[in-house]
Amino acid sequence: MARKPAAVVFDSDPDISVVVPVFDEEGAAPALAREIAAAFKGRNYEMVFVDDASRDGTKAALKALSAEIPQLRVLAHRKNSGQSRAIRSGILAARGAVIVTLDGDGQNDPADCPALADALMAGPPQLALVGGERVKRQDSYAKKVASRIGNGVRKRLLRDTANDTGCGLKAFRREAFLRLPYFDHIHRYLPALMQREGYLTAFRPVNHRHRQTGASKYTNLGRLWASLSDLFGVIWLQSRARNPGGVDEV
């Protein structure tokens, strides 16, 4: 039996850190990790999976991949704290200057990740985020309608130019993210908050896939209640922003 060639491991800190929050995704997470490894083959990267206190074998399944994928790091929350906190835990632990996030259920396509990261790195320093916009969404009709309404209301009120902030696939500068005020569900408001800090944002179409295993952790009603509260909070943050237009050392 032919041996699989060893993965390339760089001595320096990675250029890109792929951060993936997971909760009860034992069926999806290992395959997703392998897809990320294939997408970034030959590049200086790491992937950081953050297990949000899963009740199944997600953490063990990912840990078992460490020998196969040396770029894989697995963090584990002691208590379930939600998607935004898992993303933040991964970013705080990440060593790359560029962060790429995607959902842990396998619906985001890892093949799109390098293009978003490259678009960010090719842009000016003021470009802090390149977000994915899902085309041909593979969700239920009710979820797509709710998302369309929510995105329309948010875009009108926040003027963030984003058509699909619910897409988990994003590339952004770690330093820029750490400048933002943290709150639960922040991942849905990154474009508006980046723009509040004076950064530029851009968006690219990305693939979207059917969920193959597990179940969604969100309901339309639960998301609506949280979104209204968060939306008013971000409107308040925008109203209290004062941007100096740059800082010069003299």
Q: Which pLDDT score is estimated for 48?
A: 98
Q: Identify any residues that bridge with 172 across adjacent strands, giving them in sequence order.
A: 99, 129
pTM for this model (two decimals) = 0.86
The owner of tokens 């705080």 is: 92
Structure tokens that stand for 15 in this block? 């250029």
Query: DSSP states of 94-154 as a string?
Result: ---SEEEE--TTS-B-GGGHHHHHHHHHHS-TTEEEEEEEESS--S-HHHHHHHHHHHHHH
Q: Which pLDDT score is estimated for 35?
A: 98
Q: Are 54 and 75 in contact (CB under 8 A)?
A: no
C-alpha span between 54 and 145 (Å, rounded): 29
Q: Which pLDDT score is estimated for 2?
A: 44
C-alpha span between 211 and 20 (Å, rounded): 16
Tell me which DSSP letter residue 19 carries.
E
Please name which of 40, 23, 20 lies closest in space to residue 32, comparing C-alpha atoms.
Answer: 20
Please name which of 29, 70, 71 lies closest in space to residue 51, comparing C-alpha atoms.
Answer: 29
Tell me which DSSP letter residue 74 carries.
E
Q: Which pLDDT score is estimated for 220?
A: 53
Q: ∠ at Cα 170 (89, 178), nearest 5°? A: 40
Helix (H, G, I), strand (E, B) or coil at 90: helix
Q: Which residues of 120-147 are buried (b: 16+ CB within 10 A; e: fewer)?
A: beeeeeebbbbbbbbeebebeeebeebb
Sequential pLDDT tens for the chain (250 residues) = 444 444 555 567 999 999 999 999 999 999 999 999 999 999 999 999 999 999 999 999 999 998 999 999 999 999 999 999 999 999 999 999 999 999 999 999 999 999 999 999 999 999 999 999 998 775 666 666 766 777 777 778 888 888 888 899 999 999 999 999 999 999 989 999 999 999 999 999 999 988 777 666 555 555 666 677 899 899 999 999 888 888 899 8
Please name which of 209, 97, 233, 83 lies closest in space to residue 158, comparing C-alpha atoms.
Answer: 233
CATH for the 16-135+166-187+201-210 domain, from 1.10.645.10, 3.90.550.10, 1.10.730.10, 1.10.10.10: 3.90.550.10
Q: Are 203 and 162 in contact (CB under 8 A)?
A: yes
C-alpha span between 233 and 80 (Å, rounded): 23
Give backbone dihedrals phi and psi of 225, rounded to 5 degrees, phi first: -65, -45
**Residue 39 corresponds to which amino acid?**
A
